[in-house]
Amino acid sequence: MTKSENDMAKNKPSLQEPIPEFDTLEDIAEFWDTHSTADYEDVTHGVHFEVKLPSRQKPVRLLPELGETLEVIARTRGVSLETLVNVWLTEKVLQGT
């Protein structure tokens, strides 16, 4: 697009419906699931924000020797320590039910 075409495109009235006011996060998600932010570049601007999500991880302390043994087993199997422990704990829990 040439510079003059770009300028004309910027001055062209938007045929998009205006961004509505939303009452819930679900309303926002539903709107943007069916609309492109590219169609609203002339009425939006970039923002910076931080989101602090609650951790879903549950830290568990291992005995040092047990941790080292598990790391060796995980490395031997080509998986992370986290994956090994999650798989084994899941299997153990399912055996008990």
pLDDT, tens digit, 9 for 90 and up, residues 13-44: 556 788 999 999 999 999 999 999 889 988 88
Q: Work out the pLDDT band at 3, boundaries 50, 70, 90.
A: low
Element (H, E) at 32: helix 25-33
Residue range 67-76: mean pLDDT, rounded: 97
Distance of alpha carbon 47 from alpha carbon 94, whole angstroms: 46
Whether the predicted pLDDT of 5 surpasses 90: no
- Position 30 scores a pLDDT of 94
Whether the predicted pLDDT of 87 surpasses 70: yes
Residues 6+ apart with CB under 8 A from 18: 43
> How is residue 17 written in tokens?
């419906």
Residue range 86-92: mean pLDDT, rounded: 96
Distance of alpha carbon 36 from alpha carbon 95, whole angstroms: 48
